[in-house]
């Protein structure tokens, strides 16, 4: 069996060689972009920019407003369904466990295209020509950081901010168990290189729109407990979500983590009528990645998600029906 460390290093070198050899790239990530996916995109784009390569960044979704402080974020374009005249030969998929997670972007990838798949999700399906998957990392941006370091690209304050932001977001502000000594050490190094922890934290966590605060209040008013308080859940209806584009529900489910004696928390957001995006969290022993996978989703052991069709009560009951088999 091939030594994993050697194999990993070889993949890094293969990706480096490909970057140096090719000239046109498509960079993308999953729908509902978060801090890690956006940080990974911008950090990878910095590699290509350093080497004078041509690239296009496309997502099948809008970039949440709170990430507007990241340099270069205006280079990210929402895909409008139009085919590119000449799709790049190399497609970079970041932080996506499978190609379907990118939504309609997958339609742009030519059959003969070379795909680079860089990710840290345990559920990654290794769909690329080159798959650099490390599920022991806190975030995908940590892997991109290693690529930047391996290629000896100078860490500018912009790159430092990308890496710090990605790790901060995917560790839940250093709260989740994927916070490692390595991730903290990298963040400390990024601060030395120009990342500003207070500036980044203020931009991400201390500026909610009025609509978002009202939506949070509405969601918390639906709070329910199940299985003798071991499971808590909240939801938001489509009627409220459709009223304002400024509503950002990321992090709503994390408010439930503060409730004593709960093990699993979940949030249901009705993005369209009878279509719920579900976010799961757990504290100690339930693997919510396994729960989400039952519904075609996935993620991490302590933070995961999926999408379900139906009205609020049937969707909630489906989830509870699966959760009961994972509780002690």
Domain CATH for 236:
3.10.310.30
* Residue 1 vs residue 326, higher pLDDT: 326
Residue 241 clears pLDDT 80, i.e. is over it: no
How far apart are the C-alpha atoms of 91 and 23, rounded to whole Å?
A: 12
State mean pLDDT over 96-110. 91
CA separation for the pair 167, 237 (Å, rounded): 31
The token duo for 82 is 């139009």
Same-domain status, 162 and 229 = no
Q: Which domain holds residue 116?
A: 4-204
* Domain identity same for 61 and 186: yes
Q: What confidence tier does 112 reach under pLDDT thresholds 50, 70, 90?
A: confident
DSSP string, 67-129: GTTSTTGGGEEE--SPPPSS--SEEEEES-SSGGGGGGGGGGS-TT-EEEEEE--TT----SS
How far is residue 308's CA from residue 162's CA, in Å, rounded to a whole number?
A: 32
Boundary of a domain, candidates 170, 204, 238 = 204
Phi, psi torsion values for 198, nearest 5 degrees: -70, -40
* 178 and 163 in a common domain: yes
Give pLDDT tens digits for 25-65: 999 999 999 999 999 999 999 999 999 999 999 999 999 99
Same domain assignment for residues 102 and 242:
no
298 and 316 share one domain: yes
My answer on whether 58 and 77 are in the same domain is yes
CA distance 149 to 188: 15
Q: Note the pLDDT tens digit of each residue in 82-92.
A: 888 888 999 99
pLDDT score of 277 = 95
Instruction: Please determine, for residue 3, whether its predicted confidence score (pLDDT) is greater than 70.
Output: no
Residue 5: predicted pLDDT: 61
308 and 188, same domain (yes or no): no
In total, how many domains does the chain have? Answer: 2
* Residue 65 DSSP label: G
Same domain, 96 and 142: yes
Q: How many CB atoms sit inside 10 A of residue 276's CB?
A: 26
Closest CA to 304 of 315, 319, 324, 318: 319
Q: Indicate whether 327 pLDDT > 50.
A: yes
Do 196 and 245 lie in one domain? The reply is no
Which of 204, 225, 255 lies at the terminal end of a domain, its last residue? 204
**What are 27's strand-pairing partners?**
57, 92
Q: Can you give the pLDDT at residue 304? A: 93
Q: What percent of the chain has pLDDT over 70?
A: 96
The Cβ of residue 312 has, within 10 Å, a number of other Cβ atoms equal to 16
Contact 291, 322 (CB under 8 A): yes
* Domain stop point among 165, 183, 204: 204
Q: Which helix (H) or strand (E) holds 58?
A: strand 54-59
Contacts of residue 43, defined as CB under 8 A and 6 or more positions apart, other chains included, come to 141, 144, 145, 148, 159, 162, 163, 166
Burial of 291 (0-12, 13-18, 19+ CB in 10 A): buried
Find the helix or strand (DSSP H, E) in which 184 lies: helix 181-192
Q: Are 203 and 69 in contact (CB under 8 A)?
A: yes
3-state secondary structure of 278: strand
- 193: domain CATH number? 3.90.1640.10
pLDDT band of residue 190 (cuts 50, 70, 90) is very high
> Cα 61 from chain centroid?
13
Whether 83 and 131 map to the same domain: the answer is yes
**Are both 218 and 257 inside the same structural domain?**
yes
Mean pLDDT of all residues in 238-264: 84
Residues 6+ positions from 239 with CB-CB distance below 8 Å: none
Residues in the chain: 328
**Residue 318 has which token pair?**
């489906």
Mean pLDDT of 170-184: 94
Q: Which of 250, 194, 212 is nearest to 71 (CA)?
A: 194
Query: Where residue 111 falls among pLDDT bands split at 50, 70, 90?
Result: confident
Same domain, 60 and 120: yes
Q: Which two tokens stand for residue 164?
A: 């710090």
DSSP for residue 242: T
């Amino acid at each position: 069996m091939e030594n994993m460390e050697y194999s990993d290093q070889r993949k890094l070198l293969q990706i480096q060689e490909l970057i140096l050899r090719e000239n046109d790239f498509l960079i993308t990530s999953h729908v509902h972009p978060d801090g890690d996916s956006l940080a990974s995109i911008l950090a990878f784009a910095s590699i290509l920019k350093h080497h004078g390569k041509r690239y296009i960044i496309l997502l099948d979704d809008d970039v949440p407003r709170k990430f507007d402080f990241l340099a270069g974020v205006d280079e990210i374009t929402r895909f409008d369904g139009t085919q590119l005249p000449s799709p790049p030969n190399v497609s970079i998929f970041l932080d996506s466990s499978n190609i379907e997670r990118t939504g309609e972007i997958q339609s742009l990838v030519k059959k003969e295209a070379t795909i680079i798949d860089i990710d840290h999700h345990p559920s990654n399906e290794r769909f690329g020509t080159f798959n650099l998957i490390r599920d022991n990392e806190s975030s995908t941006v940590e892997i991109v950081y290693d690529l930047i370091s391996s290629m000896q690209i100078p860490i500018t304050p912009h790159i430092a901010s990308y890496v710090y932001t990605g790790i901060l977001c995917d560790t839940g502000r250093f709260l989740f168990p994927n916070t490692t000594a390595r991730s903290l050490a990298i963040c400390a190094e990024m601060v030395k290189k120009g990342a500003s922890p207070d500036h980044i934290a203020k931009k991400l966590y201390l500026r909610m729109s009025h609509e978002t605060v009202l939506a949070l209040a509405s969601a918390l008013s639906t709070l329910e407990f199940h299985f003798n308080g071991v499971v808590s859940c909240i939801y938001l209806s489509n009627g409220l979500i459709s009223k304002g584009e400024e509503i950002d529900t990321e992090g709503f489910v994390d408010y439930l983590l503060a409730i004593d004696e709960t093990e699993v928390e979940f949030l249901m957001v009705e993005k369209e009528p009878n279509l719920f995006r579900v976010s799961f969290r757990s504290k100690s022993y339930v693997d919510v990645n396994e729960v989400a996978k039952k519904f075609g989703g996935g993620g991490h052991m302590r933070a995961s998600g999926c999408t379900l069709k139906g009205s609020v009560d049937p969707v909630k009951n489906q989830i509870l029906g699966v959760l009961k088999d994972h509780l002690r």
